Amino acid sequence: MTNDQQTHIFDTSIYKTPEYKPFRQQEWPRSDEEWARIEEYKQKVDPITLDVVEGGLEAAVEEGEAAVELAGRSTIIREQHDYRASICTVDCNNVTSVSWGASADAVRAHFPLEDIHEGDVFLYNDAYDSHGTITHLPDYCICIPIFHSGRLIAFSMIFGHTEDVGGRSVGSWPTTSTSIFEEGIQIPPVRLYSKGKVQQDIYKIVLRNTRFPDTMQGDLDAFIGACRLIERQVKQLCDRLGADIVEAAMYKLMDRCEEAVRNVILPMFPNGEYTGEDFLDNDGINMEDPVKLMVTIRKDPTKIILDWTGTNPQTEGPLNSPNDGRFLSKWVGSFLSQFAPGTVINEGVTRVFRCELPPGTVLTSEYPAPVINRMQCWFRSFGAYGAALAQAFGGNVNADNNCVQVYGVYGYDNDGKPWLYREVFGGGSGARPYADGTDAVDMVNDAKNLPTEFIEQRYPVVIERVALNPDSGGCGKYRGGMGYVKDIHILTDGYYVTYVDRTAFSCFGVNGGGPGLPGGTWINPGTPDEKLVQFCQEGIPVKAGDVIRVTTPGGGGWGDPLERDVEAVRMDVLRQLVSVESAKENYGVIVHKRTKGLSTEYEVDLEATDLMREKIRQARNPLKLINRGEYAEEKRKAGKITYNDVFLPQTGTEAHAPSGEEQLS
Amino acid sequence: MSWRIGIDTGGTFTDLVALNDITGEEKVFKTSSTPDDPSRAFLDAIQGVLGEIGATAEEVTMLLHGTTVATNAVLEGKYSQLGLIVTKGYRDMLEVARQNVPGEFGAISYWIKPPRIVPLELVREADGRLDYKGEVLRPLDEQQIRLAAREYREMGVKAIAVSFIHSYQNPAQEERAREIIQEEYPDCFVSISSDVIREYREYERTLTTCLNTGLMPLLSTYLDRLSDRAQEAGTEAPLYVMKSSGGVSTASELIKRPIAASLSGPAAGVIAAAAISNAAGITDVLTLDMGGTSTDMALIEGGIPRLLTEGKIDIYDIKSPMIDMTTVGAGGGSIAWLAGSKALRVGPQSAGSAPGPVCYGRGGTEPTITDANLVLGRIPPYLLGGAIPLDRQAAYDAIKTKIADPLGLSVEKAAAGILEIATQNIAAGIRVVSVRRGRDPRDYTLFPFGGAGGLLVSPVANALDMKSILVPMAPGATAAAGLLYSDVRVDHVITDVQREDLLNEEQLQEEFLQVRERVIEDLANQGFKSSGIRLQAFVDMRYVGQAFEIRVPLPISDDSISLADSFKNFHTAHESQYGYSYENKSLVEIVNIGVTGFGQLAPPRHRPKPYSKGGWSDLLKFTRPLYVNAVSDYVHCPVYERPTEPISEPLEGPAVIEQYDTTTVVEPGWEVSVNEFGHLLITRKSVGGVQG
């Protein structure tokens, strides 16, 4: 069955109304003859061959990504894994596991098929002309058509976040831009190589429009080399199995993903309608105005719809993302693989799990709205989705985390050349219904921090402390992960930049768990000049000798903190991750410190603990399903935001049995 | 007579190969391992082989040992409790680690961080700080070190690791800390990071130092016990232990750096593959070591195994020279299962040796690679020459109910599918050590060994379009044999990042002398004076901005190194590895300077044997139905005894060749002969390729 025929289970007519943006900008229908061939060969693909093709394509993508990591030059690509490889069919449906990776839609929109040749290499970063696949300008995408047996079989793509693409600020990440023109050069899909011949003119334009041309050259060459590795491996697969079989298998892999989601994952979700919301601190310009994301999950036995009606209109500042429903379905849908381990989530997920997005929102912005900070919006979409899931699953889901926090310092060396130390920080992950959240991790898999010994070799700073921020994880039966604290002592004058969220709002706790501590920066903490820096900031002047203390948010807690295992509290106190005061006030656990020889020990007073816990239980307000913390409450009181509270029964978490057996994020 | 003895201790068997230094005679001996005290099997094997060859213990000139004691301690978390002292501000270094969540996007929601090697309550901080040049920003607070040492002593923590920021540039503060700890607590084990690995990146260096320290008490006890056992057997021969780098070290040196032995066992196999194939005139080889739970792969180029300066042991990224090996979860016991909507997967879960594959009849219920091999007639219905019978019906039934029926396939197609997926996983592993390093597997010969190595070689070779396969004489004892071909090896480096345009050659010369002195001293400690040693100098280089280095050899003459050609050689190496270079376009920087020293143990030579007068027909045992996927049916397949003498006449597949602990399957489209060293040489028939 084709993609089009499958979509009847959705009411696609909504995409023709002004209330919703088209699910996908354009389709690339294949001819009847092509479908006949694909259907014929699909019959010939036995289950083993299908797995051989799947394994071959996944290995190709892994190999491509490994090549980028080795040869790439931007730290954000190399260490922090902000790049993805993918393979899509001729009609631009992704068949590999990182299905929100780029696809070839933008290339097809600019070049008719007869004008796409073996040896062509396409390049683009145009956020508003990429069919929702590349959504801010530092992400350059390389796309290579893969030919076999004289015809086009597939495309391979790599996109990655390069260090600088021009625009008004070093690092091309202005947090107060009001139009995309401030954010860098926009390159629509163009040929960097034509039939194997390099188009130097294009290179010249790209390299002239970056502050770090050497790095850019290295990154682009790494992308091209990696795409070619993928191309070679797909061709070898075609040599062995035949191009017709490989191509038919790609379509069958999407069918298989659809079946896995429908037959294995859907039954785990309770049918019904559930609404969740979450808030971003602000758009970088209107500092008092939180930005709301809202989603209603509509689940019936055949599908899951995520309707994002209620989401904030596009913002003046660069929080916007020019997505469509298709992209967001694949982004959020990636998290479904945990319910069916071993399943590759590809474009097939969108036949059962779909986002419906109103136009002109912060998730579906219109040209030329600024987009550079859209990442925060993407990650917060999981917050709104998680809040809705918490209702669907009676609280039996993970608490909230927001991990991608970017901090940096830039300046100019003696020759006037710019330098930029920029790092992606993790934070605490949300507590789970069965375990604590994880301390200091990043949400993007395999995204690494930078070693102090690397940073100090390269940039004029001394990193005095890299640690966990005590008491930052939300309290709960399972506590949230702790955020970071990092002290950066800078040795020359420069400018401090932040691209962050959750410096005001907390990561929310779930099912009675407490909110995590928000992140934030203190310049020269503990001195008379101490200064708090919140929100996104694109250039706070700092002087040689200043200490910048960065803290990142802790994850939300899960469940009633009074039910936390007493020994777990004692261990956290012993490890200096939870203070004696917090143990008492939040967990009702009385811990006494004593000295034994040279060591310090902590002992729990069980009797006093029982009394304390009872006292807290009597005095406190009912626990909430979603606990958003103080800033949200203040903003609600000030009339800046609205949200609904769901309270748990007074008896605590035990009486509030989850409705599903599975533990969900 | 003089015999050198190699003993490799594996999970199931302890293999021994004895080699007569004078006649070149080799004797293989196998005994069951004794996991509760591996030294018992070590003694059993020595006494056993001496009995068989009729030699006395005095005739043993050298004992060489490959062990998984360090590997298993890491895998199972059985290292000693230890303390860690770090620079002030870095107490949480092991907690924060590199902040990365392994696995797919979304794994953050379910990933549980494994326990840290040193729990936070045993980490202490000391003030004192160096800058990136190694200059002192703040002096060491000696009192804090003293108090920490006393506290550890009070707590009974017997091993202490020390790791300070930028100590790779200047080890003085760490060395002073060690002195103080030894003053306060003389009978503890202590190691400092600049001594274990003098390279930048604090987390990996600290982690490596912690693992090293945690292994010290264990390795020390283990090696003492081996010495006792050797004495018990009546030999005073020196004991050498294989390191991950493929070189050996005396037991007393290894106790200082046990982390170097973390891949001791697998490394020996690769060294054997290099020695055996080199002797046969084949220098470019990909090895395939297939055991019960996994398969290890490595690349040998120009007769030398590729080396890495850092790698992964289980979940730990550690910095220690090691042979570039990749492991995939595809061994005989790897389990076949259906994911999501019936996608066939093989591994990484393994039935191991207990309960083992279904056909072992020890309670295994999940079909494995071995079950598939049995059903398809690729292995005999017994193990070890008949000692252990296998239950084919049980294997058949398990594959039918768990895989074939749900997929709507015949049992044979399903079993063949299991092998096909396993083949693909192994082929992907080979691509990691070849294609990802800029090497084309088609230019290499496949070298299978390990108990299950011979079973999937032709399908793997088909998947990668490789043309020839070399199967050694005793695939099951290859690792033990490899021990006999090893030299003592010492590696030391110093990190000193220097840009091409700001090169301080004098400083590099001085660092070369320092590092060379350490290498010579380590070799001297192992009994090598200047005559028997060989030194290689090198620099690790990269383009400014890259984070991975390429090792470039440096010529040494008269106590000095020559950097003259090194930059040019770097561009060439980069071109070869990644397909491009930036000569005249981008600045290069030197990251490390180092020296590798070899103490030569005079490896023995392989001696060719005369060709046999007989042929394959003399070795034919019987025929057995073998399932051939290409024709979707069983064929009558001849089963041969493994030849011990060379046979030039090629034998066409399908054929099965059996020996005591290994079976080799020659698929249709391939043919096999026996070369003058007794190795099976399997080559693709010249016209076209038939898919296995």
3-state secondary structure A7-39: HHHCCHHHHHCCCCCCCCCCCCCCCHHHHHHHH
pLDDT for residue B604: 63
Paired tokens of A365: 């912005």
pLDDT for residue B34: 86
Assess whether pLDDT exceeds 60 at residue A7.
no
B142-155 and B172-184 helices, crossing angle to 10°: 40
Paired tokens of A46: 């036995």
pLDDT range class, residue B686, cuts 50, 70, 90? low
Nearest CA in chain A to B133: A457
The partner residue sitting opposite A448, judged by closest CB among B99, B103, B691, is: B99
Q: How many CB atoms lie within 10 A of CB B297?
A: 27
Q: Cβ distance A124 to A191 under 8 Å?
A: no
pLDDT for residue A10: 59
Q: How many CB atoms lie within 10 A of CB A94?
A: 28
Whether A438 sits inside 8 A of B111 (CB atoms) is yes
Assess whether pLDDT exceeds 50 at residue B691.
no
The partner residue sitting opposite A71, judged by closest CB among B99, B425, B578, is: B578
Say how far apart CA A47 and CA B482 lie, in whole Å: 41
Q: In this predicted model, what pLDDT tens digit does every residue of A622-650 receive, in sequence order?
A: 999 999 999 999 999 999 999 989 999 86
Average pLDDT, integer, range B103-129: 92
Assess whether pLDDT exceeds 60 at residue A5.
no
Say how far apart CA B372 and CA B329 lie, in whole Å: 16
Strand order in the sheet with A405-412: A418-425, A405-412, A494-499, A537-542
Q: What is the pTM of this model?
A: 0.88
DSSP string, A252-308: HHHHHHHHIIIIIIGGGSPSEEEEEEEEES--SSSTT--EEEEEEEEEETTEEEEE-
Q: In chain B, which among 506-545 make CB contacts under 8 A with chain A?
A: 543-545
pLDDT range class, residue A26, cuts 50, 70, 90? very high
Q: Cβ distance B376 to B627 under 8 Å?
A: yes
Q: Count Cβ atoms within 10 A of the Cβ of residue A564 and give its class: 0-12 exposed, 13-18 middle, 19 or more buried.
A: buried
Average pLDDT, integer, range B64-83: 87
Whether B151 sits inside 8 A of A598 (CB atoms) is yes
Paired tokens of B511: 């660092």
pLDDT for residue A657: 38
Average pLDDT, integer, range B503-521: 93
Chain B CB within 8 Å of residue A317 CB? no
Nearest CA in chain B to A54: B343
Q: Cβ distance A88 to A100 under 8 Å?
A: no
pLDDT range class, residue B51, cuts 50, 70, 90? very high
Say how far apart CA A546 and CA A523 lie, in whole Å: 7
pLDDT range class, residue A3, cuts 50, 70, 90? very low
Say how far apart CA B525 and CA B251 lie, in whole Å: 11
Strands B655-659 and B633-641: parallel
Q: How many CB atoms lie within 10 A of CB B333?
A: 28
Q: How far is B263 from chain A (nearest CA, A)?
A: 23
Paired tokens of A52: 């051989």
CATH of B488-599, one of 3.30.1910, 3.30.450, 1.10.3470, 3.30.1490: 3.30.1490
Say how far apart CA B25 and CA B585 lie, in whole Å: 57
Q: In this predicted model, what pLDDT tens digit does every residue of B584-625 receive, in sequence order?
A: 888 899 999 999 999 988 666 677 888 877 889 999 999 999
pLDDT for residue B197: 86
Q: Which of A665, A662, A656, A664 is nearest to A394 (CA)?
A: A656
What's the distance, Cα to Cα, between the start and end of chain A in Å? 32
Average pLDDT, integer, range A234-256: 95
Say how far apart CA B330 and CA B370 lie, in whole Å: 11
pLDDT for residue B602: 67
pLDDT for residue A559: 97
Task: Enumerate residues 6+ apart whose C-beta is below 8 A from A650.
Answer: A622
Average pLDDT, integer, range A263-282: 94
Task: Enumerate residues 6+ apart whose C-beta is below 8 A from A417.
Answer: none
Q: How many CB atoms lie within 10 A of CB A76?
A: 23
Q: Cβ distance B247 to B488 under 8 Å?
A: yes
More confident residue, B200 or B209: B209
Paired tokens of A114: 């007869």
Q: Which of A183, A200, A181 is nearest to A191 (CA)?
A: A200
Q: In chain A, which among 215-234 make CB contacts under 8 A with chain B?
A: 215, 217-218, 221, 225, 229
The partner residue sitting opposite A451, judged by closest CB among B112, B201, B416, is: B201
Residue ranges of E strands in A413-516? 418-425, 461-468, 484-490, 494-499, 509-510
Give per-residue burial for A410-437: e unless 16+ CB within 10 Å, then b: bbeeeeeeebbbbbbbbbbbbbbbebbb
In 3-state terms, what secondary structure has residue A479? coil
Q: In this predicted model, what pLDDT tens digit does every residue of A416-454 receive, in sequence order?
A: 888 989 898 999 999 999 999 999 999 888 888 999 999
DSSP string, B49-94: HHHHHT--GGGEEEEEEE--HHHHHHHTT-SPPEEEEEETT-TTHH
The partner residue sitting opposite A338, judged by closest CB among B89, B106, B342, is: B106
pLDDT for residue B573: 87
Say how far apart CA B249 and CA B232 lie, in whole Å: 22
Chain B CB within 8 Å of residue A468 CB? yes
Q: Cβ distance A557 to A476 under 8 Å?
A: yes
Q: How many CB atoms lie within 10 A of CB A161?
A: 22
State which of A32-36, B462-466, B495-499 shows the largest mean pLDDT. A32-36
Q: What is the mean pLDDT of chain B?
A: 90
Q: Cβ distance A458 to A482 under 8 Å?
A: no
Which chain A residues are within 8 Å of B119, Cβ to Cβ? 575
pLDDT for residue A518: 97
Q: Which of A109, A96, A98, A123 is nearest to A27 (CA)?
A: A109
Say how far apart CA A82 and CA A135 lie, in whole Å: 13
Beta-bridge partner residues of B622: B639
CATH of B1-66, one of 3.40.50.880, 2.30.42.10, 3.30.720.110, 3.30.420.40: 3.30.420.40
Domain ranges for chain A: 21-257, 395-560, 565-622
Whether B548 sits inside 8 A of A70 (CB atoms) is yes
* Sign of CA pseudo-dihedral B503, B505, B506, B507: positive
Please tell me the number of Cα atoms within 13 Å of B289 on its side-chain side: 22
What one-character DSSP code corresponds to residue B477?
G
CB pairs under 8 A between A and B: 239
pLDDT for residue B603: 64
pLDDT for residue B581: 81
Q: Cβ distance A105 to A131 under 8 Å?
A: yes
pLDDT range class, residue A8, cuts 50, 70, 90? very low
Q: What is the mean pLDDT of chain A?
A: 92
Q: In chain B, which among 62-101 make CB contacts under 8 A with chain A?
A: 89-93, 95-96, 98-101
Q: Give the distance from CA A172 to its chain's centroid.
A: 20
% of chain A at pLDDT higher than 70: 96
The partner residue sitting opposite B343, judged by closest CB among A54, A63, A215, is: A54
Q: In this predicted model, what pLDDT tens digit does every residue of A591-618 receive, in sequence order?
A: 999 998 899 999 999 999 999 999 999 9
CATH class of B77-219: alpha beta
Strands B588-599 and B533-543: antiparallel
Torsion of CA A44, A47, A48, A51, to 10 degrees: 110
Chain B CB within 8 Å of residue A452 CB? yes
Q: Give the distance from CA A430 to its chain's centroid.
A: 14
Say how far apart CA A133 and CA A329 lie, in whole Å: 12
Whether A665 sits inside 8 A of B203 (CB atoms) is no
Q: Which of A227, A229, A234, A236 is nearest to A192 (CA)?
A: A227
Domain ranges for chain B: 1-66, 77-219, 334-420, 488-599
Q: In this predicted model, what pLDDT tens digit does every residue of A498-535 receive, in sequence order?
A: 999 999 999 999 999 999 999 999 999 999 999 999 99
pLDDT for residue A2: 36
User: Mapped to the 3 state alphabet, what secondary structure does A365-430 carry?
Assistant: CCCCCCCCCHHHHHHHHHHHHHHHHHHHCCCCECCCCCCCEEEEEEEECCCCCEEEEEEEECECCC
pLDDT for residue A654: 46
Nearest CA in chain A to B199: A453
Nearest CA in chain A to B114: A438
Torsion of CA A568, A571, A572, A575, to 10 degrees: -160
pLDDT for residue A524: 98
pLDDT for residue B69: 86
Q: In this predicted model, what pLDDT tens digit does every residue of A307-333 receive, in sequence order?
A: 999 999 999 999 999 999 999 999 999
In 3-state terms, what secondary structure has residue A82? coil
Question: What does the angle CA A555 – CA A284 – CA A160 come to, to the nearest 5 degrees?
Answer: 70
Average pLDDT, integer, range B29-42: 88
pLDDT for residue A509: 98
Q: In this predicted model, what pLDDT tens digit does every residue of A145-187 receive, in sequence order?
A: 999 999 999 999 999 999 999 999 989 999 999 999 999 999 9
Q: In this predicted model, what pLDDT tens digit does every residue of A458-468 receive, in sequence order?
A: 899 999 999 99
pLDDT for residue A662: 38
Torsion of CA A475, A476, A480, A482, to 10 degrees: 30
Q: Give the distance from CA A561 to its chain's centroid.
A: 29
The partner residue sitting opposite A468, judged by closest CB among B95, B111, B137, is: B95
